[in-house]
Amino acid sequence: MIEILNSAYIFFLFICLSYFPINVCNKTFSNNSFNIKSLNLLINLNFLLIFSLMPYNILNHKYLITLIIVSTLIISYKNLVRKIVKKKFFIENFIFFITFIILSSNILNNLYFEWDAQKFYFIKSSIFFQGGIFSDLKTFEFNHFHPHFGQYIWAFFGKIGFIENEVFGRLFYLLIYCFSLLYLSSQINYKNYLYLAVFILSILLTFEYKLFSGLQEIIIFSLLIIVSINLYNIYKKQSSLIDFFQCILISNILIWTKAEGFVYSLIILILLLFSPINYKKKLFTNILILTLIIVKYLIYHFTEFNLDPRPDSYSLDYVLNLDFMTALSKLKTIILFLIYYLTINEIMILNLIFLTLIYFINYKDFNSIKFTYIFLLLNFIFLIGAYILTSLDTEYYVRTTMDRLIFSTSGFYLISIIHFINFYKNDLKIKFK
């Protein structure tokens, strides 16, 4: 019973973080705007990122978060109570909560770690969990393999509840995963609760325990879903400053979550360059994203962390001496495995089907979804290039990593399905009563 109560508390904390700081002093505190909730959450995650770099342990941050919760309730309790009694607000959050509790029970009853979690992520999370700080990560031999933020969040949410246990920290991964899919589902242009049915269906399609067994790919997956919505609004010319800020905030989190997050941030930057926004916004957004990337590497430099994420795998000497036939042989292996892993990934199969339908049927407002095709192309170029240029055995490297890399980005393309559904409704004038 205490485990359920602790899980419920972590859920409550997550909800508070999605309403603070923007909504707490506003009458629209619970206006059910996922865009605002997402912005709040990303702001708070970036604050936690800053805290993770400071010479203070998690206990100091625990008290700060408790203060935020209390302040949120005191300042906005009238708006919250008024909104809770409204049907839509209640049903939406009830479905979210029940889904979370059911899935969290699966995680709490399956405690094994995947290989990378055992060897890398759990150890770094334990350093934070036991009161360590960012500089203490240098004591871990393999710290250069991965950025630290995902492990810090793991430790933070494992420490903040009634029960201090690492498994509750991984429930944050579940919460941001559920939130991103609920946010995506809410983009369906129907007046009733169809989006909640789509949300549940998306959970059934994508959930499996190993994604929450300490691996960091689920964070990337969830963040890319959110940024796809922001880019969709931008390309539809229906964006606000909120969408731009979210692109920036997500890019910053990505580069501190996994090594390939750097690449995804650069792709976001490129997508913004090709977007229909004006020159000043493009300039501002891209300069800021590039600045955040540079800041990360400056921090690594001055704290004497290794700037090379995989010093054992990539070297300039190997790349310069790579002959054509070797590269061609590698490419053949990569393409074969790429086709294989795409065909066994249910999400990517659906994505590719709908992307193909949209392209050939040429549904209205095609330009608003073209950024998904650009992302797909650039992502494939990145995958192929990364495997060709590595000195590791190609087949071994592909077998052990490609399925996770494909999954990480698969959530980004789900916006194409939402786009198709919306325009299918408009074209056939389907009305759900």
Position 418 pLDDT exceeds 90: yes
Q: Is residue 330 part of a domain?
A: no
Say if 326 falls within a structural domain: no
Does the residue 183 lie in any domain?
A: yes
Q: Which residues, at least 6 apart from 170, have a Cβ–Cβ distance to it below 8 Å?
A: 107, 154, 157, 158, 212, 213, 214
Query: Are the C-beta atoms of residues 125 and 153 closer than 8 Å to each other?
Result: no
Q: How far from the centroid of its chain's Cα atoms is residue 46's Cα?
A: 13
Q: Which residue has the tokens 């059910």?
A: 32
Q: What pLDDT, in 10s, does the model give residues 318-351?
A: 777 888 899 999 999 999 999 999 999 999 999 9
Question: How many distinct structural domains can be found in the chain?
Answer: 1
Within a domain: 106: yes
Range of the domain at 62: 2-235
Q: What stretches of 212-323 show up as alpha helix (H) in DSSP?
A: 217-235, 241-255, 261-273, 279-302, 316-320
Q: What pLDDT, on the 0 to 100 scale, is given for residue 281?
A: 80
Q: What is the pLDDT of residue 431?
A: 42
- Mean pLDDT over 174-201 rounds to 91
CB 34, CB 242: distance < 8 Å? no
Residue at 156 is within a domain: yes
Q: Enumerate long-range contacts of 307-313, CB under 8 Å, 24 or more apart.
A: 308/144, 309/144, 309/145, 309/146, 309/259, 310/144, 310/145, 310/259, 310/390, 311/144, 312/392, 313/390, 313/391, 313/392, 313/397
Token reading at 55: 């010479």
Q: How far apart are CA 154 and CA 71, in angstroms?
A: 24
Examine residue 401 and state whether it is found in any structural domain, yes or no.
no
Instruction: Answer yes or no: is 90 within a domain.
Output: yes
pLDDT digits (tens, 9 = 90+) for 248-295: 999 999 999 998 999 999 999 999 998 888 888 888 888 898 899 899
For residue 432, what pLDDT band results from cuts at 50, 70 and 90?
very low
Residue 212 clears pLDDT 90, i.e. is over it: yes
Evaluate whether 116 touches 400 at the Cβ level (below 8 Å).
no
- Return the pLDDT at 206: 93
- The string of pLDDT tens digits covering residues 22-58 is 765 555 444 448 898 999 999 999 999 998 998 888 8
| pLDDT band, residue 367 (cuts 50/70/90) | confident
pTM of the model: 0.93
Whether residue 224 is contained in a domain is answered as yes
Task: For helices 370-389 and 324-343, give the axis angle rounded to 10 degrees.
Answer: 130
Q: Residue 86: what pLDDT? A: 67
* Residue 21 burial class via C-beta count within 10 angstroms: exposed 0-12, middle 13-18, buried 19 and up: middle
